[in-house]
Amino acid sequence: MEQTLTHNIAHTIRLYPTESQETFFKKACGCARVAYNYGLSEYQKIRSEGGKPSILKIKEKFNQEKKTLYPWMYETNKDANQQPFSNLQDAFTRFFKHQSRYPKFKKKGIKDSFYISNQVFKTDNKKFWISKLGWVKGAEELRFHGKIMSATVRRKANYWFVIVSVETDKAFTTCENQAVVGVDLGIKTLATLSDGKVAEVLSPLRARLRQLKRLQRWASRKVKRSSNRHKANQRVAKVHYEVACLRKDVLDKLTTYLCENYQTICIEDLDVKNMLKNHCLALAISDVGWGEFRRQLDYKSLLHGNTVIVADKWFPSSKKCSGCGHVKETLLLSEREYVCEHCGLVIDRDLNAAINLMNYALEKLGVACPELTPVDKRALVYSSSIGVDETILYETGIYQGSETST
């Protein structure tokens, strides 16, 4: 079954600019940075004088002074020095809604990017045309067909990328399976599903931690602001980029699998910010990327027509028995197996939490939860000795008495 809707999709493609084209990119990033800092400086100045600043009036003042103060800005596209004022307005809007911190001044070489409108940008196979620059070679052609809304050129780890926003009516296959699944995220295993499937954790940062420490020590010995220090920092940035790509790839496969195989997905609203205060687990929590998992699941569920139910962070998914509903007062992190004193249930704690999340979703949907009848004081016994599947998920044996279901 397919569903046709009009939506905006962004596609990130790596660029291979020539030396002169890379110089143009750096100039455009500089224009965007100067314009943003100009607007923020004027905003703070007006506020300190007791006035009520307006980003639109600041932008008009900048355009009047641009020809005398910054004549080199005319060497790049106009959008590069005009869009930053819209970005600044959005930053203050988020700040006043308590959604982000107060805007900061941009620094050279950190998150360099500039905006391009659809009027001065077009694509042809693996090439991308930008006004005042010409055709730039890319790694692949645009994946989605439709109207190009805008583009953003960004530098990451000394690599250049273009993020193209496309309005498309591409048909995405909706999930025909009406199954409900609970997903418990963890650090020993990336995700445990209520039907017994487990996604293994990759830990790309921990695997490269020794290499990163060595490169960072090597970079710290270089003279500050020197060319050698800049090259050393670029090597560190490339390792971080590889780590981010590996983490995103694993989460991409997992979220795609969930959206294509389950109609309703229930997850827990984790308070990651407070959990990171535990310095013993902060590295492991950051390495699995729970925030990126939530972001990908949110937008993919909209494309595939899934229903995502988020359980409250106070919901006792780990302390509650999935067999009888009894809630333990305390459950230590070292207890990897849940043992219920009330009904005798013995089950892996992550699987127990995933089943509780599935039952939570069924209650929200108004569907009766399946009853688990203990057999010889064992409702479920969790085993993870089955082989690994090609899709980073492996089946685990779920036993109820002498019967086995996988």
Residue type, 242: E
**Per-residue pLDDT reduced to its tens digit, 73-95:** 999 999 999 999 999 999 999 99
- Evaluate whether residue 290 is within a structural domain: yes
**pLDDT confidence of residue 346:** 86
Is residue 113 within 8 Å of residue 152, measured between CB atoms?
yes
* Same domain assignment for residues 159 and 304: no
**pLDDT confidence of residue 202:** 85
- Evaluate whether residue 236 is within a structural domain: no
- Evaluate whether residue 212 is within a structural domain: no
CATH number of the domain at 318, please. 3.30.420
- Evaluate whether residue 211 is within a structural domain: no
* Same domain assignment for residues 36 and 126: yes
Last residue of a domain, one of 145, 168, 191: 168
Domain count across the chain: 2
* Same domain assignment for residues 143 and 184: no
* Same domain assignment for residues 123 and 185: no
**pLDDT confidence of residue 28:** 96
DSSP annotation of 162: E
Last residue of a domain, one of 168, 190, 209: 168
SS3 80: helix
* Same domain assignment for residues 48 and 185: no
* Same domain assignment for residues 289 and 400: yes
* Same domain assignment for residues 328 and 378: yes
Tell me which residues are annotated as active site.
Answer: 184, 268, 350
Ramachandran area for residue 87 (φ above 0: left; ψ -120 to 50: alpha; else beta): alpha
**pLDDT confidence of residue 141:** 92
**pLDDT confidence of residue 398:** 31
Which regions in the chain score pLDDT beneath 50? 1-3, 372-406
* CA 359 centroid distance within chain: 27
* Same domain assignment for residues 156 and 289: no
Last residue of a domain, one of 113, 144, 168: 168
* Same domain assignment for residues 186 and 105: no
* Same domain assignment for residues 271 and 130: no
- Evaluate whether residue 350 is within a structural domain: yes
* Same domain assignment for residues 290 and 366: yes
Query: What is the C-alpha separation between 151 and 128, in angstroms, rounded?
Result: 10
Query: What is the C-alpha separation between 404 and 30, in angstroms, rounded?
Result: 63
**pLDDT confidence of residue 369:** 60
SS3 235: helix
- Evaluate whether residue 396 is within a structural domain: yes
**What is the extent of the structural domain holding 254?**
180-200+247-405
- Evaluate whether residue 67 is within a structural domain: yes
* Same domain assignment for residues 155 and 255: no
